[in-house]
């Protein structure tokens, strides 16, 4: 007579048993793109106002008609309006490059 082999059940550890290593670095996850904040509100990442962000992402006299921060417009085909999205990496790189410089925005 053959007996069936049953492997032992392995239970997953309980939440109270799982510990994180103390020296593990905290990971900050940022979105790839953010929307422009509504008018009186400020950007949650940088604290800049909507008009200050517009001067960084749109060609205008303040930036020599060459916006230093990348942005895209997301809209449906044949739509007049869309949603302007700011590339977070480009925005943060630009702000970090201003270290020590004073810029009137």
Q: Tell me the domain boundaries of the chain.
A: 33-97
Give pLDDT tens digits for 2-33: 666 666 666 665 655 555 656 656 677 899 99
Nearest to 85 by CA among 66, 70, 96: 70
Nearest to 95 by CA among 45, 27, 37, 44: 45
Supply the pLDDT for residue 15. Answer: 57
Distance between CA 67 and CA 13 in Å, rounded? 52
Give pLDDT tens digits for 50-76: 999 999 999 999 999 999 999 999 999
Supply the pLDDT for residue 59. Answer: 97
Other CB atoms closer than 10 Å to residue 8's CB: what's the count?
A: 5
Supply the pLDDT for residue 103. Answer: 57
Supply the pLDDT for residue 99. Answer: 83
């Amino acid at each position: 007579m053959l007996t069936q082999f049953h492997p032992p059940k392995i239970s997953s550890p309980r939440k109270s048993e799982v510990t994180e290593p103390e020296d593990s670095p905290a990971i900050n996850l940022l979105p790839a793109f953010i929307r422009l904040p509504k008018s009186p509100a400020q950007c949650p990442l940088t604290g800049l106002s909507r008009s200050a962000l517009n001067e960084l992402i749109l060609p205008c006299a303040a930036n020599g008609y060459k916006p230093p921060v990348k942005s895209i417009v997301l809209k449906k085909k044949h739509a007049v309006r869309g949603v302007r999205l700011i590339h977070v990496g480009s925005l943060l790189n630009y702000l970090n490059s201003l270290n020590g410089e004073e810029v009137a925005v």
